[in-house]
Amino acid sequence: MKNFVKLAVIGDPIEHSKSPEIHGAALKAIGADYEYEKVRVKAGELETFIKRAVESGTDGFNLTMPHKVDIIPYLESIDEEALRYGAVNTVKIVDGKLHGYNTDAEGYSMALKMRGRSFKGASVVLLGAGGVVRTLALRAAAEGANCVTVLNRTQEKAAEVAKAVQCVSDIKTWCGSCCSAEIAEAAAECDILINATPLGMHGCGEDYNDLSFMPCVKRGALVSDLIYNPEKTRFLAEAESLGYEIMNGKAMLIFQAILSDKIYTESDFDVTEVYKCVNY
């Protein structure tokens, strides 16, 4: 295990990021000394940051918008899962070379596991079709989901994600628009409903204006939102008021961070035990 790691998180915007607190708590829990800085890196400024990171002896960095895809040409190697997702959220630097990983979807899986749930055998409905939906849809397929449905404002993007899933598995896939009627129809059969749009997120300025699909969600389903600020979006509050189990994006955020720390520190600790020590 590496006892000292020099790390960073990069993105734009980055001011709101809780990564320093989360990684700090996790690294403390595993007994590693660390430096963790938050760096605003705008689109097009990756190369300058990478040069600086290598020269200053940085061991690795986490990436958020808008760099998860743009980093790929700079990598010496890319882990199989990140390659499949076409996106990277963790970079480890070894001897000046960059190695890419993606811990987002595994982070979500671990959050599910903590609730005694999993993608295996589940019918999963994803609202949105951005980067994170692609990773979750592929992960759900890899873990043996029964069916993955992607509903999105731009239907072509939902179709692209469904096609990507079909390319790697033979599970049932469905795609469509995210109008209330379509969500209601899909949700009636689902075990896990996930909001992966920014609707309802602090600072987004927009929210679901029609939640009339919520009572149609299958009884016993988990209603999940990847948003963690606010802790309870209207989407989740409505689900809770109807008696559904709910889960926000906080556990995923923490698990993906701890999984990154495992890569940086080259250590084999129990991620769930470390999770219990992280509270920001």
The residues facing 62 across adjacent strands are: 9, 90
Compute the least distance from the CB of residue 131 to ligand NAP, in Å: 4
Q: Which is closer to ligand NAP, CB of 54 or CB of 198?
A: 198
Question: Measured from the CB atom, is 157 or 218 closer to ligand NAP?
Answer: 157
Residue 158 Cβ vs ligand NAP, minimum distance, rounded to whole Å: 8
Nearest to 3 by CA among 38, 40, 31, 37: 31
Q: What is the largest CA-CA distance in the chain?
A: 55
Q: How far apart are CA 26 and CA 37, in angstroms?
A: 15
Our answer to whether residue 97 is catalytic in this structure is: no
Buried b / exposed e over 182-218, threshold 16 CB at 10 Å, is bbebbbebbbbbbbbbbbbbeeeeeebeebebbebbe
157 binds ligand NAP (CB under 6 A): yes
In the window 223-252, what residues touch ligand NAP (CB under 6 A)?
Answer: 226-228, 249, 252
Alpha-carbon distances, residue 275 vs 4, 110, 159 (angstroms): 20, 10, 35
Pick the catalytic residue from 2, 18, 42, 68.
Answer: 68
Selected range binding ligand NAP among 9-17, 167-175, 193-201, 260-268, rule: CB under 6 A? 193-201
- Of 20, 66, 86, 198, which one interacts with ligand NAP (CB under 6 A)? 198
The mark string for 83-112 relative to ligand NAP (x by CB under 6 A, - otherwise) is ---------------------x--------
13: tokens are 């915007």
Question: 239-245 long-range contacts, Cβ below 8 Å, gap at least 24?
Answer: 239/193, 239/214, 242/214, 242/215, 242/217, 244/214, 244/217, 245/115, 245/221
* End-to-end Cα, the chain, rounded Å: 25
Q: Which of residues 21-60 bind ligand NAP (CB under 6 A)?
A: none
The 8-class DSSP code of residue 231 comes to: S
Q: Does 132 bind ligand NAP (CB under 6 A)?
A: yes
Q: Which of 20, 66, 86, 130 binds ligand NAP (CB under 6 A)?
A: 130
Q: Could you say whether residue 222 binds ligand NAP (CB under 6 A)?
A: no
Active site residues: 68
Contact residues toward ligand NAP (CB under 6 A) are 104, 128-133, 152-154, 157, 196-199, 201, 206, 226-228, 249, 252-253, 256
